[in-house]
Structure 1
Amino acid sequence: MYVLGIDVGTQGVRGVVVDQRGKILTSSSVPFAYMNISIEEGYKEQDAETWWEATRDVVASIVRGMNHIGVSPEEIQAIAVDGTSGTIVALDSDHHALCRGIMYNDNRAVEEAEQVQSEGSVLAEKLGYKFNSSFALPKILWMKRQGRELYEKACYIIHQSDYIVGRLTGRYDVSDYSNALKSGYDLLERKWPGFIENGLGIDIQKLPHIVAPGTYIANVSETAAKNTGLSTTTAVMAGSTDGYASAIASGAILPGDFSTSIGTTLTIKGVVKEIIKDCQGRIYCHLHPDGYWMPGGASNTGGRCLNHYFPEKRFDDYNQLVEKLLPTNAIMYPLIGKGERFPFLCGDANAFILGKYSGDIELYGALIEGVAYTERLAYETLQELGCQVNDHIYVTGGAVRSKVWSQARANILNKVLRKPFTAEPAMGSAIIAASRTIFQNIGEAVSSMVMIHEEYQPQRENVKRYEERYQLYKQECKRRGYI
């Protein structure tokens, strides 16, 4: 008995088939040729057909791998899909994309975000967040204003993962409440609030029906089965955002548990008993499938700084050489581009560096330290807002492949880092797929399917050395008005 998790990320698609103990049977990944096909400044767009083509190829590869070892695709009981949070696409009545997908990090809807915040202030206050241009709802309002013909033709305006679910099942009218949060869905009342239609003039009929992650949507369609090799007996369940899936995959299931995923960006999510509100809009709370709340936020820093400075990606070589240079002589806030969302909200934020580095190896060290300084500031911000944060942090994302980076993070955070055996959003989606098919709930699925592979303990001497550097980092953030 197996489940398939599919992660549609910024850079490509990954799929993983696992059993009820979390053991991987087979996996595959396909990168996108382009991460942004827009030439407009501030716009970030991808072709929705590219999302499906990569997903189709990933699934077909997985099915071939299963057939090669004598396992029938009919043994995949369920599938769930995650996608980037706040990414949307408009579809016509035949379910064809009317436009390119507008990505989560697209900045075109700044003015619309202000209007959404004004009209939706009651909801924002109730749920404890602030609408900004990374949210989907301002993008939908922009679409209504700037592309009226497109908006009028649109039968559905849906999220990235919804589109893949549609291609798998033929149903494009269902989404989950983790994706719908940034579209303005009321997580407390479990409905689309009236201001969307009455205040913004957006037709709610164009928005999907919302269910909990792990809810059954439909079986794989005959068309998708022919294209991928999947069986029509396989159920497709509602998934989540990639950050939500990553948090599930981390093993963080109890109040006080938090996880950090560092991939292209840095994303933090945790579990608390009561909803946490932030009037500044730096964080927001997802609803946990077991009734808790999942506060967190996403920084614009993360692994992208390494790709920016080192396009050749010689990270394995750097990891072997950098350890003796840590802590480095340079203190960086390694932002690429302009503007930050979390741990502070500042549209004018820019990168900074204190001190000097010598050569690429020390620069690499300063960059990974800088991401960790930002991570620590994020956890301090969460604690100031009332979150209980345990002495251990679950870690996922591409950064965990680097042992030296993980150890530096443990020293800077002064916390134990717990790395699960399979640290990726696709695993989280697989767990969500299993949560109501193989298991009774998400907590039961996580307990059975997540295995901790490694732990990183803080090193006392380095904790002390990093404390001095972190305080300098924090002072510079204050001097610049970021915090």
Structure 2
Amino acid sequence: MTDAHHDDVWLGLDLGTQGVRALAVTDDGRVRGRGSAPLTGHRHGGRHEQLPADWWTAATAALRRTLRTVPATRVRGIAVCGTSGTVLLTDAHGTPLTAALMYDDGRAAAEARYAQETCADVWRDLGIRIQPSWALAKLLWLTGAHHDGAPGAEPAAPARLRGARVCHQADFVTGRLVGHRVATDSSHALKTGYDLYSRTWPTAVHDRLGLSGLDFPDVVAPGTPLGTVGREAAGATGLAEGTPVLAGMTDGCAAQLGSGAWEVGRWNSVLGTTLVLKGVTASPLHDPAGVVYNHRSPDGNWLPGGASSVGAGILTRTFPGADLGRLDLCAAAREPASTVAYPLVSRGERFPFVAPDAEAFVLGTPADEADHHAALLQGVALAERLCLAYVRMLGAPVEGPVTLTGGATRSAYWNQLRADVLGRPAAIPEHTDPALGMAVLAAYGVRGGGRAPRGMVRIRTTLEPRQDHHDRFTAPFVTLVDELERRGWLPHETATYARTEG
């Protein structure tokens, strides 16, 4: 006999870098519908912007495509995730006053240093370090509250932005769904400086930094009801008017929920354009360097982790239009490759060390295209191993298999390679989209909390590491660690631990 709840459908919406994806999932993990729509942005040098209106256009298209196979009346709730650190300013009615500065926009380096130095005592207590990718630094850049006047620096934003509303990527879309301004969630608010311990905005920080004139949103826990889908949004998306809209989380946290890695000691590695590693601990993971930061899980545990700038984005940049499947087959014969690579997608590194000036490198000259491809795949896996070593150095428990999610899991070869390099089992969920995590969160929020609905996540396979293959990568791993330390990016303590325990 089928549980009546299995007819309920939960919607997750993921606002990614290159597109918006929606997923409709039942309580027992069956995907009833999916849809996507592309996104474009403007990149130039350190600049990376998108237009918020494009998010809404893509979201409505993705939702309509998803609902072709799902009766709107069966949708019991929707939650939205966005990229961490993406921010814009709007007027009182939600109309954008600026473009959205994306998570990897690098123009706020001076502002990040200023915010870190000016409020070092606050960040020390909170265990965080303000980085150029963080929304707080971007707000300083947007408003011109700090401007170093360096030659070639871009002009400060106009004074009309005083009194503007702070808006994260997910806030813009949830506000359009509901039809009015809504609270943000604590996950998206973290990189805007929100204090997860006292659950307040640090107004003293805003005063010191000259941001007190901005209108910061109310903050609620992920999974909190924000309202219901309004009439205008129902017409645009195909959702039923009155459908509950729940506060979401950042895309990295969404992937954590969608991975099924919910117990203390479990870790999830999201490999898409870049790499995000996040785990579960019973208390915040303290990092004096501020490299690792802690999100708060909906169930009260903590989600420490970080986002690296290495990732699969390097493949399409290095081999545009290439048959990556064919290159994977060739790479299997190059273990290890003749060169060691650190495949940063963009300038600067955030995790497992902070180095704004870090650049991608390859030690040596690849023998051919296949050798180069193998070095990049292995380089990402070696960086992933270094990230896991770093959180272990900080005292985080690492138990059970590491769950692999993100677009890169489409490569069966890369999945096995990562398990081999890590020397740990790798669990691959049946569905690896962060949108699944938002569907899980929607069900969790509407049902009133408790434990996440475990049946919504299905594990497709678990890959065991092959010891002989793992041993092959010991020397390349040490070579990479040595080089990162030699360049002054990786601290000596971290390098020493990685060489002996990583």
- TM-score of the superposition, structure 1-length normalised? 0.94
CA contact (8 A) 1:215 1:238 kept: yes
CA contact (8 A) 2:35 2:64 kept: no
Identity of aligned residues (%): 36
Match of 2:59 in 1: 55
Equivalences for 1:200-211 in 2 at 5 Å? 200-203=209-212, 206-211=215-220
Residue 168, structure 1, aligned to residue 173, structure 2: no
Deviations 1:16-66 (A, max 9, x none): 00001121001011111x2x3254x31110011111111010011112232
Match of 1:19 in 2: 26
Q: Which moves more between the two structures, 343-352 or 113-122? A: 113-122
CA contact (8 A) 1:127 1:275 kept: no
After TM superposition, give the deviation of residue 209 of structure 1 in Å. Answer: 0.7
Partner Cα distance (2:43, 2:409) in 1: 31
Match of 2:161 in 1: 151
Match of 1:404 in 2: 413
Match of 1:220 in 2: 229
| Structural RMSD (CA) | 1.6
SS at match of 1:435: helix
Match of 2:456 in 1: 449
Equivalences for 1:15-414 in 2 at 5 Å? 15-32=22-39, 34=40, 36-39=41-44, 41-66=45-70, 72-145=71-144, 146-152=156-162, 154=164, 156-203=165-212, 206-414=215-423
Match of 2:499 in 1: none
Which amino acid letter does the alignment assign opposite residue 444 of structure 1? A
SS at match of 1:325: coil
CA contact (8 A) 2:166 2:214 kept: no
Deviations 1:376-431 (A, max 9, x none): 01111111111111242011001111111011111111000001111111001111
After TM superposition, give the deviation of residue 120 of structure 1 in Å. Answer: 3.0
CA contact (8 A) 1:123 1:186 kept: no
CA contact (8 A) 1:81 1:238 kept: yes
Match of 2:16 in 1: 9
Partner Cα distance (1:46, 1:278) in 2: 32
Which amino acid letter does the alignment assign opposite residue 452 of structure 2? E
Match of 1:474 in 2: 481
CA separation of 1:462 and 1:131: change in aligned 2, threshold 3 A: same
CA contact (8 A) 2:104 2:133 kept: yes
Partner Cα distance (2:132, 2:225) in 1: 31
Match of 2:439 in 1: 430
SS at match of 1:468: helix
SS at match of 2:403: strand
Partner Cα distance (1:271, 1:235) in 2: 28
Partner Cα distance (1:267, 1:103) in 2: 16
Which amino acid letter does the alignment assign opposite residue 107 of structure 1? G
Which amino acid letter does the alignment assign opposite residue 468 of structure 2? E
Partner Cα distance (2:254, 2:299) in 1: 14
Q: Which moves more between the two structures, 124-133 or 112-121? A: 112-121
SS at match of 2:95: coil
CA contact (8 A) 1:143 1:150 kept: no
Partner Cα distance (1:14, 1:243) in 2: 15
**Structure 1 stretches lacking a partner, 5+ long:** 67-71
Indicate which of 415, 418, 429 corresponds to 1:420: 429
Deviations 1:260-291 (A, max 9, x none): 00001000000011211222221101111111
Partner Cα distance (1:102, 1:444) in 2: 32
Partner Cα distance (1:389, 1:55) in 2: 36
CA separation of 1:392 and 1:75: change in aligned 2, threshold 3 A: same
CA contact (8 A) 1:15 1:426 kept: yes
Deviations 1:438-462 (A, max 9, x none): 4633x332x2211111111111111
Partner Cα distance (1:434, 1:123) in 2: 36
Partner Cα distance (2:359, 2:26) in 1: 45
After TM superposition, give the deviation of residue 203 of structure 1 in Å. Answer: 3.2
SS at match of 2:427: strand
**Structure 2 stretches lacking a partner, 5+ long:** 1-7, 145-155, 491-502
Match of 1:69 in 2: none
SS at match of 2:69: helix
Partner Cα distance (1:290, 1:119) in 2: 34
CA contact (8 A) 1:45 1:106 kept: yes
CA contact (8 A) 1:339 1:349 kept: yes
Partner Cα distance (2:260, 2:55) in 1: 28
CA separation of 1:227 and 1:381: change in aligned 2, threshold 3 A: same
Partner Cα distance (1:86, 1:47) in 2: 15
CA contact (8 A) 1:127 1:284 kept: no
SS at match of 1:436: helix
After TM superposition, give the deviation of residue 313 of structure 1 in Å. Answer: 4.5
CA contact (8 A) 1:20 1:438 kept: no
SS at match of 1:375: helix
Q: Which moves more between the two structures, 106-115 or 355-364? A: 355-364
Partner Cα distance (1:314, 1:150) in 2: 49
